[in-house]
């Protein structure tokens, strides 16, 4: 038996109960069928049906929002250390079921085990990190003025909605839900319709860890139904959203009548800029990793390579050789580097750019082909001879597709890097320190790495500028979103109060 056979056998064991009963919504600690019936969950590996999923709509969202509302006061008032203990038990529960989470995630999304084997552990890390912050989450400042002792405190905003996408869904869900729970908020989670499996595992693990019923509720369904209803619900005080930029705009509109607070983590078309003075071997490794790992379905991927003219030919030659050697295959084979794209719709979108590239006059230097006809597999693709005005340079393709654009000078590189609606991340490769300082100062992005691929550190702020989002996660920034600042002034003496109507 190969490792792949073994993984498939284990996966089938884990999936059996979903095949038997489908995935139900979880509201107030109980399994609830979807008010709109069911929809089918398909694997991108061979297009077979994984299971049926509860199709939730406004009715289910209303029930979940009421459950989150009812559970809020007790959860908010639970002593911080008790809440911390529960969140740590959630982290332990995730670790205990890491294999199940990883295998289900791969089958559901097409992500490879090579990258998803760590997804559960990163999810657990999110819970551990924010569990450690629980005790100080409510702390504020004491600011003395001449007549008052001014105290600020923070209180959880209330029940919140979390809407997540299908790329690395488990990690992203924990990234939102862990700080919300740590802050003392209750949650209604609407996972992406294309990847419901691990959201179900998360709510089960959380409840087994002692999370009271109603503190985390999961409603499956589609954006225009359940998602929209969540944004519009008056009992939901804020929406933490991760997804496409145009959906982010809808989230804001839908929440306008109820004055929702929104946190938006949106799309990207991120530049990696390679100067001739860089460590080119390390730059090459990082360029490849940041677009071809996680199937290129990664908001922070460096999908635009800006490479200096003087080294372009040599750099691209090496790039082509490496891209052509990337292994596409079954996501549960541990040696596979790229698995299938998540859905038929997404597969069609990504492959449509193969023609768009040639129509626009770029060269398909590697890939540009689909693989087999069982699932949604594509060869990792590199476009060269591109200009920044082409669609392949301006639009988020969200697949293993890199567009290489040459530049001559630092000024030109900066102009190209910033000439884009997005501003999530940027990656700079140079050994000139003053250039790095200058460039990072003027590069329009929420997160920039110099001589490094994206290395996430939980206490640092995560988020984008321009069409890539509004707001920041990470460290205390997460609590800024899930909590309200409250000011209380205590008089320290008999200061003069202006008397009206006293003659």
Is position 179 an interface residue for ligand NAD (rule: CB under 6 A)? no
Is 226 within 8 Å of 41 (Cβ atoms)? no
Rounded to 5 degrees, what are φ and ψ at 173?
A: -65, -45
Residue number, nearest CB to ligand NAD: 223
CB of 59 to ligand NAD, least distance (A): 16
CB of 111 to ligand NAD, least distance (A): 12
Report CA-CA distances (Å) from 91 to 120, 125, 134, 184: 9, 7, 14, 17
CB of 121 to ligand NAD, least distance (A): 19
Among 60, 265, 316, 333, which residue sits at the site for ligand NAD (rule: CB under 6 A)?
265
Q: For residues 224 and 56, give the distance between their C-alpha atoms in angstroms, rounded to a whole number.
A: 11
Q: What is the 3-state secondary structure (H, E, C) of 265-304?
A: ECCCCCEEEECCCCCHHHHHHHHHHHHHHHHHCCCCCCCE
CA-nearest of 458, 432, 461, 433 to 445 is 461
Contact positions with ligand NAD (CB under 6 A) in 159-178: 163-167, 172
Is position 426 an interface residue for ligand NAD (rule: CB under 6 A)? no
Q: Which stretch binds ligand NAD (CB under 6 A): 21-29, 261-269, 363-371, 483-491?
A: 261-269
Is 165 within 8 Å of 343 (Cβ atoms)? no
Report the residue number, 303 or 384, with the smaller CB distance to ligand NAD: 303
CB of 337 to ligand NAD, least distance (A): 20
* 411 annotated active-site: no
Report the residue number, 242 or 274, with the smaller CB distance to ligand NAD: 242
Q: For residues 342 and 349, give the distance between their C-alpha atoms in angstroms, rounded to a whole number.
A: 11
CA-nearest of 491, 450, 457, 492 to 475 is 457
Which pairs from 475-478 meet CB under 8 Å and 24+ separation?
475/133, 476/133, 478/130, 478/179, 478/183
Which pairs from 489-493 meet CB under 8 Å and 24+ separation?
489/145, 489/148, 489/149, 489/150, 489/151, 490/148, 490/149, 490/150, 490/151, 491/147, 491/148, 492/144, 492/147, 492/148, 492/149, 493/147
SS3 (DSSP) at 335: coil
CB of 282 to ligand NAD, least distance (A): 25
From residue 101 to residue 140, the character string flagging contacts with ligand NAD as x (rule: CB under 6 A) and all else as - is ----------------------------------------
Report the residue number, 242 or 319, with the smaller CB distance to ligand NAD: 242
Is position 222 an interface residue for ligand NAD (rule: CB under 6 A)? yes
Read off the DSSP letter of residue 328: B
Is position 407 an interface residue for ligand NAD (rule: CB under 6 A)? no
Site size toward ligand NAD, by CB under 6 A: 33
Report the residue number, 54 or 134, with the smaller CB distance to ligand NAD: 54
CB of 235 to ligand NAD, least distance (A): 16
From residue 21 to residue 60, the character string flagging contacts with ligand NAD as x (rule: CB under 6 A) and all else as - is ----------------------------------------
Contact positions with ligand NAD (CB under 6 A) in 286-305: 299
Q: What angle do CA 127, 132, 138 make, to 5 degrees?
A: 110
Among 60, 100, 108, 193, which residue sits at the site for ligand NAD (rule: CB under 6 A)?
193
Is position 247 an interface residue for ligand NAD (rule: CB under 6 A)? yes
CB of 248 to ligand NAD, least distance (A): 7
Report the residue number, 396 or 444, with the smaller CB distance to ligand NAD: 396
Q: What angle do CA 250, 44, 244 make, to 5 degrees?
A: 15
Among 34, 110, 267, 423, which residue sits at the site for ligand NAD (rule: CB under 6 A)?
267
H-only helix segments in 326-400: 344-359, 391-394
Which two three-digit tokens encode residue 49?
């049906």
Catalytic residue among 52, 105, 193, 265: 265
CB of 65 to ligand NAD, least distance (A): 14
Is position 464 an interface residue for ligand NAD (rule: CB under 6 A)? yes
- DSSP H or E run through 20: helix 3-21
Q: Which stretch binds ligand NAD (CB under 6 A): 386-394, 435-443, 464-472, 475-483?
A: 464-472
Is 64 within 8 Å of 25 (Cβ atoms)? yes
Among 105, 396, 444, 453, which residue sits at the site for ligand NAD (rule: CB under 6 A)?
396
CB of 192 to ligand NAD, least distance (A): 4
Is position 266 an interface residue for ligand NAD (rule: CB under 6 A)? yes
CA-nearest of 251, 286, 252, 253 to 271 is 286
Binding site residues, ligand NAD, CB under 6 A = 163-167, 172, 190, 192-193, 222-224, 227-228, 231, 242-244, 247, 250-251, 254, 265-268, 299, 396, 398, 424, 464, 468-469
Q: Annotated active-site positions, please? A: 265
């Amino acid at each position: 038996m190969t490792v792949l056979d073994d993984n498939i056998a284990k996966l089938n064991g884990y999936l059996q109960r979903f095949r038997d009963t489908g995935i139900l919504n979880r509201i107030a600690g109980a399994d609830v069928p979807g008010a709109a019936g069911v929809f089918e969950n398909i694997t991108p590996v061979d297009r077979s049906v994984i299971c049926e999923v509860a199709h939730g709509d406004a009715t289910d969202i209303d029930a979940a929002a009421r459950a989150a509302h009812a559970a809020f006061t007790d959860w908010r008032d639970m002593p911080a250390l008790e809440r911390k203990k529960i969140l740590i038990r959630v982290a332990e529960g995730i670790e205990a079921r890491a294999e199940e989470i990883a295998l289900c995630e791969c089958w559901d999304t097409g992500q490879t085990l090579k990258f998803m084997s760590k997804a559960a552990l990163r999810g657990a890390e999110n819970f551990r990190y924010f569990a450690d912050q629980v005790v100080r989450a409510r702390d504020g400042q004491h600011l003395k003025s001449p007549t008052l002792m001014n105290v600020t405190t923070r209180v959880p905003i209330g029940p919140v909605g979390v809407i997540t996408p299908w790329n690395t869904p488990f990690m992203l869900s924990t990234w939102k839900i862990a700080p919300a729970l740590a802050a003392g908020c209750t949650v209604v989670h609407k996972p992406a319709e294309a990847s419901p499996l691990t959201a179900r595992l998360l709510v089960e693990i959380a409840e087994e860890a002692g999370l009271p019923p109603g503190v985390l509720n999961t409603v499956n369904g589609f954006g225009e139904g359940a998602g929209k209803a969540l944004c519009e619900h008056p009992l939901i005080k804020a929406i933490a959203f991760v997804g496409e930029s145009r959906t982010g705009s809808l989230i804001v509109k839908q929440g306008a009548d109820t004055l929702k607070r929104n946190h938006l983590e949106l799309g990207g078309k991120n530049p990696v800029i390679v100067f001739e003075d860089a460590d080119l071997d390390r730059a090459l490794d990082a360029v490849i990793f940041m677009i071809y790992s996680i199937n290129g379905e990664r908001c922070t991927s460096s999908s635009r390579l800006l490479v200096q003219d003087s080294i372009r030919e040599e750099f691209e030659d090496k790039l082509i050789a490496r891209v052509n050697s990337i292994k596409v295959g079954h996501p549960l084979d541990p040696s596979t580097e790229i698995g299938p794209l998540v859905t038929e719709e997404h597969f069609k979108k990504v492959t449509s750019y193969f023609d768009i590239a040639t129509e626009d006059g770029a060269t398909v230097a590697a890939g540009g082909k689909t693989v087999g006809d069982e699932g949604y597999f594509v060869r990792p693709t590199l476009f060269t001879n591109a200009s920044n005005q082409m669609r392949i340079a301006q639009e988020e393709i969200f697949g293993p597709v890199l567009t290489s654009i040459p530049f001559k000078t630092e000024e030109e590189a900066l102009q190209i890097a910033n000439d884009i609606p997005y501003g999530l991340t940027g990656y700079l490769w140079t050994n000139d320190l003053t250039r790095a300082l200058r460039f990072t100062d003027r590069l329009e992005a929420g997160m920039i790495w110099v001589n490094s691929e994206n290395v996430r550190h939980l206490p640092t702020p995560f988020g984008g500028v321009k069409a890539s989002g509004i707001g920041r996660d990470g460290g205390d920034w997460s609590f800024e979103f899930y909590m309200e600042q409250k000011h209380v002034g205590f008089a320290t003496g008999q200061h003069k109060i202006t008397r009206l109507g006293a003659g």
